Structure 1
C-alpha cells in the first residue's frame, strides 16, 4: 500500500482550499434548481487521478462540506458524500492513468473518462438522490432530476477541464516536481 506522504498532505490541503474557493464558480444550467456547471468537479477528479483515492476522498468531502458551510451557512450532506464517492472512485485507478509519470496518453484519457462517468453516475444518479430522500425527505422526482442534471454537468466539465488538467500536468508537472525531500 502506498504511503500517505508529504506530497499527498500538500495535495490534500491545496486541493481542499481550491475546491472551497471554486464553490462559488458556477454556471447555472437553468433547467433544474440548484444544479450548475462547476469547475471544482473537474479539479476533484484531476486530483484524485494524480494522488489517489485517499486524497480524492478527503478533498471531496472536506472541500464540499467546508464550501457549503462557508458560502451557504449549512452543509447538505447528501451532496457532500457523493463528492467523496467520486474522489475515491476516480482515485482507485490513479496508477493506471499514469499522469504523474508523464504517460497520460489516449488510452489513459479514455480510461479516466470512463471511470469519471461511472463514478459520477453512481454518485449523482444513485447516492445523492437516495441520501436526499433518506436524510431530508425530499421529493423523489425532484432529487432524481437534480441528480441526473448534476451527473450530466459533471461529466461534461470533467471530460473537458479534467482531461486538460491531466494532459497539462503529465506534460509539464510530471517531469519537474517542485517538492523534494530535504536531508
Structure 2
C-alpha cells in the first residue's frame, strides 16, 4: 500500500480548500431545483486521479461538508457522501491514468472519462437519491430527478475541465514537482 506522504497531505489541504471556495461557483441547470454544474467536481476528479482514493475521499467528504456548512448554514449529508464515494472511485484508478508520470494521453483520457461516468452514476443516480430518501424522507421522484441531472452536469464538467486539468498537469506538473524531500 502506498504511503500517505507530504504531497498527499498538501494535495488534500489545497484540494479541500479549493472545493470549499468553488462551492459558490455554479451554473444552474434551471430545470431541477438545487442542481447545477459545478467546477468543484472537476477539481475533485482531477486530484483523486492524481493522488488516489484517500485524497479523493477526504476532499469529497470534508470539502462538501465544510462548503455546505459555510455557505448554506447546514450540511446535506446525502450529497456529501456521494462526493466522497466519487473521489474514492476515481482515485482507485489513479495509477492507470498515469497523470503523475506524464503519460495522460488520449487513451488515458478516455479511461478517465469512462471511470468518471461510472463513478458519477454510482454517486448521483444511486447513492444520493437513496440517502435522500433514507435520511430526509424526500420524495423518490424528486431526488432521482435531481440525481440524474447532477450526474449529467458532473459528467460534462469533469469530462471537459477534469480532462483539461489532467492534460495540463501531465504536460507541465508531472515533469517538475516543487515538492522535494529534505535530508
User: TM-score w.r.t. structure 1 length?
Assistant: 1.00
> 1:86, 1:127 → 2: CA distance?
10
Q: Matches of residues 31-46 of structure 1 in structure 2 within 5 Å?
A: 31-46=31-46
- Alignment correspondent of 2:108: 108
Q: CA deviation at 1:182?
A: 1.1
> 2:146, 2:27 → 1: CA distance?
15
Residue 55 (str. 1) matches residue 66 (str. 2)? no
Which segments of 5 or more consecutive residues in structure 1 lack a partner in the other structure? none
- Alignment correspondent of 1:98: 98
- Alignment correspondent of 2:80: 80
Provide, for residues 23-56 of structure 1, a one-character-per-residue CA deviation record: whole Å limited to 9, x for no partner: 0000101010000010000000000000000000
> 1:180, 1:92 → 2: CA distance?
25
Provide, for residues 40-74 of structure 1, a one-character-per-residue CA deviation record: whole Å limited to 9, x for no partner: 00000000000000000000000000000000000
Q: CA deviation at 1:102?
A: 0.3
Name segments (4+ residues, structure 1) moved above 6 Å: none
Secondary structure of 2:34's counterpart equals coil
- Alignment correspondent of 1:125: 125
- Alignment correspondent of 2:142: 142
Which segments of 5 or more consecutive residues in structure 2 lack a partner in the other structure? none
Q: Matches of residues 61-72 of structure 1 in structure 2 within 5 Å?
A: 61-72=61-72
- Alignment correspondent of 1:176: 176
> 2:87, 2:108 → 1: CA distance?
17
Secondary structure of 1:100's counterpart equals coil
What root-mean-square deviation, in Å, do the aligned CA atoms of Structure 1 and Structure 2 show? 0.3
